[in-house]
Amino acid sequence: MRRRCLPIQFGGRLSPSRHAHVIVPCDLHDSQKKEVYKGGSCALALTGWDSAHPLPSPASRSSRHKVSPRPAKFEPIAIFLTYHPKMPLKSYGIWKGTPTKWDGTAKPGHGHITFSDTTSTRLDAAVNIESKSSDSRLVYWVIRDLQPVSATFTHSLQTLPRGFHPQKGTLETGSLGLDFLRLNFFRPQDGILLSHNTPGTSHNILDYLNPILNQAVVQKADIYLFGEPYNDKTGIHDIHMNQGNSGQWKKDNGIFQDGGIILAFPDGHWEGIFLAFAVQTYKTDEQGMPVGDTFAKLLGGGKQPGEGDEEEPEPIVGDGIKIEAALVNPHGPDQKPTRGDGETVYLLNRSVTTVDLEGWRIENGSGQSHVLKGVSLAVQSKKGVAVPGVALGNKGGVIALKDNGGKLVHQVKYSRAQAQREGALVYFLQK
């Protein structure tokens, strides 16, 4: 009996362009040849006849003409297909440990986390703070409360013993590998373009990484580092997105092999830090190869290197000045902290032009306000503004930003629970 392959298309999280093939008899009517259930890695296919019309055996091929041409009744047969994506990072996995030190300037281009597990107290993790590409900027996402995003994922991580755990495949096949573009932990357009300049500048990546990683060290949080181990197994690198690359890094492209940092703090909350390069694309094909525009274009952070002056990238994110974060509960008394900054509101420029904030106001829910003087924000830059006289309550509250004409530009709310972490920022643009 002649047979041929019919494509079965995957649904769910996997790309609709992926196909498996199932052998079916050509005798079947078109309506009987295929039935698809779109549900991740499971496809339902009609590949056989019912008990009244069994498939002809090899010995009965000559009698095939005796088979009735009328449609047969079928029961769907579940075929579970395991999809193995391309994973150029052959040793990709998760390293669980405890961070003991964070040095953001340990080596050019990288910060380094010293961490321990059951085998060593001097393991190393290399964290990119700039790119070797012509556009050296990175894209930064933070999730300050990861459990509501994926409680099942964090539970699976929590059950891992300390040490390194290789990961292969996809979420549907049991892997805990990260994929920025397919797991929906965050939206690509919520990223922030950051560079590594002189410490203290308003868009320096270390201004974002230092508070979280230093807090993780002090509180002895559990750390989950996603990436590829060094050849000598003394640490881990590639802790960034590993798809959407062009040029010399194209060979590293793959799906479900992105790097990242996830932290589980003693009080029970989880945080995630995720980094990509501005030159990577925010869409990829089923092999992780670049598709479409880069993050630099998506986030409206100016022209990419080599582009002409006649083109100005169109930002997909909302334009304007936003309240990115706030320090509402400093260490010690709010207006006289025992260490670190006092109550501070962080503003971020997500437009494509520099914005003058002279005369703008930051207000709380009680109407107390602080007027900004001599403040301007360049494209994709942030600035922390101390707000003396504007009480940011530790029982939850509202923070509003108004322009010099009194028009409301942005308003955010925070809860009592968010305000309980002393010395920690409450983030509003990235949950």
Q: Would you state the pLDDT for residue 251?
A: 93
Give the C-alpha separation, 53 to 61, whole Å: 14
Residue 74: burial class (beta carbons within 10 Å; 0-12, 13-18, 19+): middle
Q: What's the mean pLDDT in 114-133?
A: 93
User: Which residue do the tokens 């259930």 mark?
Assistant: 37
Which residue in 26, 35, 27 sits closest to 8, CA to CA? 35
* Helical (H) or strand (E) element with 33: helix 30-33
Report which of residues 97 and 430 the model is more confident about.
97
Phi, psi of 273 (to 5 degrees): -120, 130
Give the C-alpha separation, 169 to 175, whole Å: 6
Q: Is the pLDDT of residue 73 over 90?
A: no
Alpha-carbon torsion angle 410, 411, 414, 419, nearest 10: 70
Using left for φ > 0, alpha for ψ between -120 and 50, and beta otherwise, residue 233 falls in left
Give the C-alpha separation, 304 to 296, whole Å: 7
Q: What's the mean pLDDT in 335-347?
A: 79
pLDDT in tens, 142-172: 998 888 888 899 999 999 999 999 999 888 8
Q: Would you state the pLDDT for residue 4?
A: 38
Give the C-alpha separation, 121 to 11, whole Å: 44
Q: Is the pLDDT of residue 129 over 80?
A: yes
Identify the top-confidence range among 19-33, 194-208, 411-425.
Answer: 411-425
**Cβ contacts of 73 within 8 Å, gap of 6 or more:** 50, 52
pLDDT in tens, 289-331: 999 999 999 887 544 333 433 333 343 334 589 998 898 988 8
Q: Would you state the pLDDT for residue 133?
A: 85
Q: What's the mean pLDDT in 66-80?
A: 44
Q: Are 276 and 253 in contact (CB under 8 A)?
A: no
Give the C-alpha separation, 1 to 296, whole Å: 56
Can you list the positions of beta strands (E) in 239-331? 260-264, 270-277, 281-284, 290-294, 321-327
Report which of residues 1 and 86 the model is more confident about.
86
Q: Would you state the pLDDT for residue 175?
A: 92
Give the C-alpha separation, 106 to 90, whole Å: 27
Give the C-alpha separation, 170 to 188, whole Å: 20
Q: Would you state the pLDDT for residue 413?
A: 92
Q: Are 111 and 104 in contact (CB under 8 A)?
A: yes
Q: Would you state the pLDDT for residue 350?
A: 79
Query: Tokens at residue 346, please?
Result: 């962080």
Quickly count: other Cβ atoms within 10 Å of residue 303's Cβ: 15
- The CA-based angle 174-157-151, given to 5 degrees, is 90
pLDDT in tens, 15-54: 333 334 333 333 334 443 333 333 333 333 333 333 333 4
Q: Would you state the pLDDT for residue 148?
A: 80
State how far Cα 382 lies from the chain centre.
21
User: Which residue do the tokens 């495949």 mark?
Assistant: 169
**Cβ contacts of 282 within 8 Å, gap of 6 or more:** 181, 188, 189, 244, 292, 293, 294, 295, 298
Q: Is the pLDDT of residue 192 over 90?
A: no
